[in-house]
Amino acid sequence: MPPEVSATNVHTLDLGAMSLRAVNAELQSRNGTGERYHYRVVNPHGAHALACGLDAALEVEIAGNTGYYCAGMNKQAHVEVKGTVGTGVAENMMSGRVHVHGNASQSAGATAHGGLLVIDGDAGARCGISLKGADIVVKGSVGHMSMFMAQAGRLVVLGDAGEALGDSLYEARIYVRGSVKSLGADCVEKEMRSEHMAELEDLLARAGCRGVSPSEFRRYGSARQLYNFKIDNLDAY
Report pLDDT digits (tens) over 129-138: 999 999 999 9
pTM for the predicted model, two decimal places: 0.92
3-state secondary structure of 13: strand
Amino acid 2: pLDDT: 38
Q: Is the CATH number 3.40.190.10 carried by domain 7-236?
A: no
Q: What is the band of 233 on the pLDDT scale with cuts at 50, 70, 90?
A: low
pLDDT higher at 174 or 6:
174
Q: Which residues contact 211 (CB under 8 A, 6 or more apart)?
A: none
Break the chain into its structural domains and give their ranges: 7-236
Amino acid 140: pLDDT: 98
Give 143-188 pLDDT, tens digit per residue.
999 999 999 999 999 999 999 999 999 999 999 999 999 999 999 9
Dihedral pair phi/psi, residue 132, rounded to 5°: -125, 15
Q: For residues 53 and 73, give the distance between their C-alpha atoms in angstroms, rounded to a whole number.
A: 5
CB 166 within 8 A of CB 149: no
Answer whether residue 4 shows pLDDT above 60. Answer: no
